[in-house]
Amino acid sequence: MNDIAAPVGPCHRRHIHRHRIAFSECDPAKIVFFANYLTWFDTASREFFVACGIPSWHVTEEERGIIGTPVLDVQCKFLNSATYGEDIEIETTVEQWNNTTFVMHHTARRGETVLAEGREVRLFAVRDPADPKRIKSIPVPDDIKAACVKCRQAACGVCRTEGEVSELPTPQAVA
């Protein structure tokens, strides 16, 4: 498996999804059952789009035929354990946009402790006109990509560059 590292370079819009671990999400050893991280990453993926102003997939299907963003590939690296009652955060960003796919990066943390890191390759899908029981990929919609890559300065004033979190320059300094 490839190393899963946080995205670096230009500003990557990010979203933080908060979750309290339930007893039912743990195994008999009272630690989080590994597959729950994938469920949380999936939830965080959708919440990322919500934070970018993208309507629900029900609405996008009705208006544009887009039924969602199915996963093509997923990787997860488990670094520390967690248990029920703990509050965690899932930080999500799109680290790469391609013509028909995009790569999401997730970091699950309890405070400063990284619990797991994940990466998903996803695509935008519509129902296949030849067989509505099947789906087919479409090019990444330009307007959705634009909404998701906008610098988030207005939202939080922080930008990820070279793997560190630093303050964004003021608009006057950029001009």
In this structure, are residues 93 and 158 in contact, taking their beta carbons and an 8 Å threshold? Answer: no
Choice among 3, 27, 87, 131 that is catalytic: 27
Phi and psi at residue 35, to the nearest 5°: -65, -20
In this structure, are residues 106 and 117 in contact, taking their beta carbons and an 8 Å threshold? Answer: yes
What CA–CA distance (Å, rounded) separates 34 from 151? Answer: 33
In this structure, are residues 140 and 124 in contact, taking their beta carbons and an 8 Å threshold? Answer: yes
- Give the residue among 45, 50, 19, 67 at the shortest CA–CA distance from 118: 45
Neighbours of 26 (CB within 10 A): 18
The yes-or-no answer on residue 27 being catalytic is yes
The residue to which tokens 């488990």 are assigned:
78
What CA–CA distance (Å, rounded) separates 154 from 159? Answer: 11
Residue numbers annotated as active site: 27
